[in-house]
Amino acid sequence: MLDLLVPPSASPQFSDDQIASFRESGYVVVRGLIPPEIIDEMRSLTLRQLADEQGPVEYEAQTRYPGAPDSLDAEGGRTIRRLLQAHSRGYVFTAWMTFPPVLKRLQQLLGPEVACPLAHHNCIMAKQPRFSSETGWHQDIRYWSFNRPELVSVWIALGQERVDNGCLQVVPGSHRQKYDRSRFDDALFFRPDLPQNQELLATRQFVELEAGDVLFFHCLTLHAATRNYTDETKYAAVFTFRAGDVHPLPGTRSSASPEILLPRAL
Ligand SMILES: O=C(O)CCC(=O)C(=O)O
């Protein structure tokens, strides 16, 4: 059982400036939010399950992202990109959500009732050196179906995230703009070939992280990442959260899986 007591050094909640920055930019980073013992356990489970190819997984070839092998049988096609269903892989992938400095921050962004849909993210991203692909510019909400686009994703770095190993890139303030459908391609990636889009993408920021750092980002924030150009795999655990009055639409993939309801704020 993990000891989730707040270490004396941990700041218990977002400052007003951090909340304002999240509302303005669509993301905020908290350094060292997740204690090392939680990160170590997440990382060792990840390494073991990756080595055992413990399913369910998504392979590089299945992403169909630029640079991915053409098929599962092509060289590198069965390189694991995502360990899916993180919550089923070890209690640590659930326990961290009730770590008070995390729960409090989720409630500051989403209100007193927070739920974690298991249908989206809920995975460990692995970006392996020999075979990894480019994730194009997108908003996470594109394949999700909720009554309001008010969800926050949480990206937990399980090791260093740098420009050269394919850290996340985000466009500050992109969650506050409305975009014509024509600015996205058929797969709902934001088209980097359009001059109007290029102007916006030129303002991107690279989100470099250390193990235990956490990126909170809005489901409408445009983000992307390159492949991993180093010789070490990059790992991150990623989950999404919704407010109490944001509901998955019936009959969609978003409502097809259960959710974890987090303890309510008093
Ligand atoms: O690490 C990456 O390639 C980004 C993944 C991503 O943005 C996503 O799965 O929504």
Domain positions in the chain are: 16-261
Report the atom number in ligand 1 closest to the C-alpha of 82: 9
Decide if pLDDT at 111 tops 70.
yes
What is the arithmetic mean of pLDDT over 105-130? Answer: 96
Q: What is the mean pLDDT of the chain?
A: 94
Query: Each residue of 130-186: pLDDT tens digit?
Result: 888 899 999 999 999 999 999 999 999 999 999 999 999 999 999 999 999 999 999
Contact criterion met (CB below 8 Å) for 174 and 200: yes
Alpha carbons 239 and 109: distance in angstroms, whole number: 15
Find the 135 Cα to ligand 1 centroid distance in Å.
6
Q: What is the sign, positive or negative, of the torsion defined by CA atoms of 245, 246, 249, 250?
A: negative
R_g of the chain computed on alpha carbons: 18
User: For residue 261, what is the enclosing H or E element?
Assistant: strand 259-261
Report the atom number in ligand 1 closest to the C-alpha of 167: 1
Asked whether 153 lines ligand 1 (CB < 6 A), one says no
Decide if pLDDT at 10 tops 70.
no
Asked whether 135 lines ligand 1 (CB < 6 A), one says yes
Domain range 16-261, CATH architecture: Sandwich (2.60)
pLDDT at 238: 98
pLDDT at 131: 86
Residue pointed to by tokens 């991107």:
204
Those residues with Cβ within 8 angstroms of residue 180's Cβ, 6 or more apart along the chain or in another chain: none
Q: In which band, very low, low, confident or very high, does the pLDDT at 4 lie, cut at 50, 70 and 90?
A: low
Asked whether 219 lines ligand 1 (CB < 6 A), one says no
Asked whether 140 lines ligand 1 (CB < 6 A), one says yes
Decide if pLDDT at 1 tops 70.
no
What is the arithmetic mean of pLDDT over 115-123? Answer: 97
Alpha carbons 211 and 237: distance in angstroms, whole number: 11
Decide if pLDDT at 255 tops 60.
yes
Q: Tell me the best of 174, 223, 229, 235 to mutate to test the pocket of ligand 1, counting ligand atoms within 8 Å of each CB and taking the most.
A: 223
Query: Each residue of 193-239: pLDDT tens digit?
Result: 999 999 999 999 999 999 999 999 999 999 999 999 999 999 999 99
Q: In which band, very low, low, confident or very high, does the pLDDT at 246 lie, cut at 50, 70 and 90?
A: very high
pLDDT at 120: 96
Query: Each residue of 57-71: pLDDT tens digit?
Result: 999 899 888 888 889
Decide if pLDDT at 5 tops 60.
no
Asked whether 240 lines ligand 1 (CB < 6 A), one says no
Q: In which band, very low, low, confident or very high, does the pLDDT at 260 lie, cut at 50, 70 and 90?
A: very high
pLDDT at 7: 58
What is the arithmetic mean of pLDDT over 34-41? Answer: 97
